Amino acid sequence: MNWLFAHDNRFLKADDGQVYSEVAFSYSNWERYLAHVDNLTILARMEQLGGLDKNTINLSSGPGVTFQKVEDPYGIRTLTPFPIGYKTVLEAVKKTDGVIARLPSEIGYMALKAARKTNTPYCIEVVGDGYKTMATYGNWKGKLYAPIAERKMKRNIASSHHTLYITENHLQERYPPVGYSVSCSNVEIPNIEEKTVSQRQAKIKSDRKRLHIGMNGSLSSPYKGFESTFLALAKIKSELPPFEFRILGRGPKERWQALAKELDLEKNVVFCGTLPNKEVCTWLDDIDIFLMPSKTEGQGRALIEALSRGCSCLGSNVGGIPELLEPEQLHESGDIATFANQIKELATNTEKQLMYAERGIERVKPFQSEILQNTRKEFFHRFKEAIEMRS
């Protein structure tokens, strides 16, 4: 049996044919599907790897997985019945037994359209809010397209017989399921060891010479909230102990370097580039306070990872973030004054850091690999059974 996975992620192809991804999508991600089928085709955007260091990103290629490039679907033809790349998607869907569409994504929408046209079974993974993703994109085009994206997403989910959500409640309320649905994060953290707690406690109680504040996200993303953090840190810089603001993520940093200089934070900001998934935990182990002041967020992969390592976390009250943090750790998105005060209070309060660390680790235990794998396995088993019953 063959399945097809459709999403807008941008993969990178090396000269030797190997395919990589800067954010998530290491080969281990595909194993959750390959446990049920022989072959998996990935429909997504593709670029050449170029001079990027392979050791800093994730290898996506592996046995049983093939990649098929789809032209960038964004542009005016997104509003038409036949967007750029639809013919490629349709031909790929004709050759598969089942479609997995990860939404929101234009390639995902096209794959669902093709699946209905060819009477191919499909399931949907809901990983974000179609409306808010576009509304916070950063320009008028995104705001104009947002209600259209919302309708697309609601319409597709309303006709889905198998839907997997990464949140417990938030996305289900925004985009209600009709058929069989489960809540299962797409983040898988390793089993949490007892020493994770004790090591974090020891770090918090130690005589730290410098406080490490961190964020993890694409530098080109308009909705990750980097600007909020820069403004908040500038507001309270004189009231904080010596600190570094470390940023892990891909994308051009010139804009943020200029803002750091303008706000007199130039000596405090460190751009860490990208790291493979397996090295992110090591990076987080050296972060004291982790921030996620997003304008929109499906669930917050980076936040779950940070909580699992005992980082003291603060975030905005959008998307699935409130499902992970307590009200006292949240601020209204864009409320710089409240956000700054939260950072200042946490930075100087060891007891609160200890409490947040212990509470955070406990909160994300349900996201451990073994637990999620069982839920996900059952979901795709039922999807496969539905396909077989139609044969």
SS (H, E, C) 117-138: HHCCCEEEEECCCHHHHHHCCC
Q: Is the pLDDT of residue 15 over 60?
A: yes
Task: Note whether 184 and 132 are same-domain residues.
Answer: yes
pLDDT of 82: 59
Task: Note whether 43 and 184 are same-domain residues.
Answer: yes
Task: Note whether 258 and 169 are same-domain residues.
Answer: no
Residues 78, 141: Cα–Cα separation, whole Å: 12
Question: What would you report as the CA-atom Rg of the chain, rounded to the nearest whole angstrom?
Answer: 21
Task: Note whether 117 and 163 are same-domain residues.
Answer: yes
Task: Note whether 76 and 111 are same-domain residues.
Answer: yes
What is the tens place of the pLDDT at every residue in 212-253?
A: 999 999 998 888 999 999 999 999 999 999 999 999 998 899
pLDDT band, residue 361 (cuts 50/70/90): very high
Strand pairing of 211-216 and 289-292? parallel
Query: DSSP assignment, residue 260?
Result: H
Task: Note whether 210 and 311 are same-domain residues.
Answer: yes
Task: Note whether 80 and 219 are same-domain residues.
Answer: no
Task: Note whether 373 and 361 are same-domain residues.
Answer: no
What is the tens place of the pLDDT at every residue in 137-186?
A: 767 788 888 999 999 999 999 999 999 999 989 999 999 999 999 999 88
CATH number, domain of 92, equals 3.40.50.2000
β-pair partners for 40 = 3, 65
**Amino acid identity of 118?**
T
Best CA proximity match to 158, nearest among 205, 219, 116 = 116
Q: Is the pLDDT of residue 23 over 90?
A: no
Task: Note whether 248 and 306 are same-domain residues.
Answer: yes
Q: What is the tally of structural domains in the chain?
A: 2
Task: Note whether 60 and 116 are same-domain residues.
Answer: yes
Task: Note whether 167 and 137 are same-domain residues.
Answer: yes
Whole-prediction pTM: 0.82
Query: DSSP assignment, residue 189?
Result: B
Task: Note whether 184 and 246 are same-domain residues.
Answer: no
Beta-carbon contacts of residue 56 (< 8 Å; ≥ 6 apart): 273, 274, 275, 276
Could you list the residue range(s) of the whole structural domain that residue 12 is in?
2-188+368-390
Classify residue 292 as exposed, middle or buried by CB count within 10 Å of its CB (0-12, 13-18, 19+). buried
